[in-house]
Structures are given as C-alpha cells and as structure tokens.
Structure 1
C-alpha cells in the first residue's frame, strides 16, 4: 500500500492504495465518481477517458499511483456547478448520444482535444495548426468508440463548440 494525493475535479484526495490499482478503479470504487465508464478495460474504447493535467488519458490504463500530485478532471468536473460545459450543452442540443454509455469519455476526450490543437495523423503539414475540419475531428476522436453510431452528431456538436 502507498499513500497518494491527487486533485480530482478541484478537490484534493489523499488515499492509501495498492500500487496495482488503475485510476479508473480508484475513481469509481474509492471516490464514488462513476461517470467514467469501464467499457473494455483494455484502453480500446475510450469510455473511461479523463483529463490528467488537462491531457486526455484512458483511466483504465493509468495506474493510480503514477497520478500522485496530478490534477484529474472527470465528466463530473466538466460543468461549472449547474452551468453545463459548452460541449455538454452542444451534445444535448445536437442529440449526440443514444445509450449514453460512451458519452462521458467522448466529452472528456473532446474537451482535451479542443485544448490540444496542433496537427493530427491526417494533417498534410505537420508543422501547421490546421483548421478543425470534420475530418480532423473524426481523426482526433478516433480513440473513442460509440456502439450506437452517434458519430455524425458527436462531430457536429464538437464543431459547434470549436467555432
């Protein structure tokens, strides 16, 4: 067991954990933050995506012990009190979810993606900061799967927020 301290959605938590515990299991089982979903538990679906120090990460693959001192943002921390994050409002307005299981990961990934900028694998000029086209959004969100197939509305909602 090891003692770690991390800030989750603006609140500091000190916990004693086994070094093998994933960040996802810590969030869900120890901190009661069940918004991040356990989909595949192998880092392939993106349902568990959270922001670690503002960058997207699959919480099922991140060891909790490695997050000591870091800032974690989950779906529960995207909104500002009762004011929805612009992406959350856009997902609702564009009906960008069906069953909703992937939605927390989609939203966290989209928030991180919008903050990242820079080129993607499909960008012709890797030194450029290309405009955020539908193709760029699809490429940058490709690590987040939706079994219901709501991709068209997800991309449109992200486009609405990206301006």
Structure 2
C-alpha cells in the first residue's frame, strides 16, 4: 500500500513552491532535502533548541514541528531568504560585532528569531529580545556575546 501524497503549495523565500510530499513530512526535511535550503539545522527534533527556526507567516517557528499538511498556502522564510533585509543586516552585524558566533550551528535560528522579533516590534527592549530567544539554545558561546548583541540591537 502506497503512502498518501499531498500536493503542497506554499511560498518559500518569496518563491511559490508546488511539490508532492507525504502529508506527515516535516518542514525541516522539505527545506533541507527537497529545496536544498540548509540554513535550518536538525537539533533536538522536539522544538526546544531553535536550531531549525524559520519564519512562518512572519513568526519564528521550529521547522522540526511543522508537518506538510500544516503548510498549505503559508509563507516560509529561511535564513537564506533574509539576507537582503535591513532588519536582518542589523541583526547579523550585531552578532558579529559582539562575537556572538562560534561554531555557527545555532546561528541561523538565532538570527531568524531576532529578525522576526524586531520586525514585529522595531523598538524591542533587550528584555523583550531575550524573551524572544528563549527557544534558542547555544552550546558554544556561553551567551555573553549573544547578550551583548541583544543589548546593541535594543539600543539602535
């Protein structure tokens, strides 16, 4: 017996996608394997680490938790689709200036989450930005650089 297929139509990084997938296929797998967008990383697989965070309809969302059947008609942005946005440029500059990057595994999720937070609230305080990042873990930095980047973003 063959697995049911879904004709999934959604937007990724501004480009309309129409693909045939299992309705229970994870967004993370679709992005990485089908669309070759490798910014989102496999981390915990239960939505707690933030390594796979992408923007779905403008909100930071763990891609490991969304199934294909939940994506119909929605808009997804990965780190690859944020590169030319002024808010993202601010975020990436703050992360670099503060030395908040080490191995880089968690960085796409952190940068995506901060971008969404600042898009939704351009005058966010450091406390509000830290709150937005609560679903993003980093094992390398010790968070000092990340806190400095957040403080810089809250000042500008």
TM-score class, shorter-chain normalisation, is 0.7 to 0.9
Residue number among 53, 76, 79 corresponding to 1:75 in the alignment: 79
| 3-state SS, counterpart of residue 85 of structure 1 | helix
Equivalence for 1:57: 61
* Unpaired segments ≥5 residues, structure 1: 118-129
Relative to total residues, which structure has the larger helix share, 1 or 2? 2
Query: Structure 2-normalised TM-score?
Result: 0.87
Shift of 1:97: 1.0
| Equivalences for residues 109-124 of structure 1 within 5 A | 109-117=113-121
Equivalence for 1:48: 52
- How many residues were matched structurally? 149
| 3-state SS, counterpart of residue 141 of structure 1 | helix
CA contact (8 A) 1:53 1:72 kept: yes
CA contact (8 A) 1:47 1:101 kept: yes
Q: 1:70 to 1:153 in 2, by over 3 A?
A: same
| 3-state SS, counterpart of residue 142 of structure 1 | helix
- Point out 4+ residue stretches in structure 1 off by more than 3 angstroms: none
> Which has the larger displacement, 105-114 or 87-96?
87-96
Measured in 1, the distance between the counterparts of 2:116 and 2:8 equals 24
> Which has the larger displacement, 63-72 or 19-28?
63-72
Measured in 1, the distance between the counterparts of 2:142 and 2:15 equals 33
Shift of 1:78: 0.9
Measured in 1, the distance between the counterparts of 2:124 and 2:8 equals 40
Shift of 1:148: 0.9
| 3-state SS, counterpart of residue 42 of structure 2 | coil
Equivalence for 1:132: 125
> Which has the larger displacement, 4-13 or 43-52?
4-13
Shift of 1:33: 0.2
Residue number among 65, 85, 95 corresponding to 1:91 in the alignment: 95
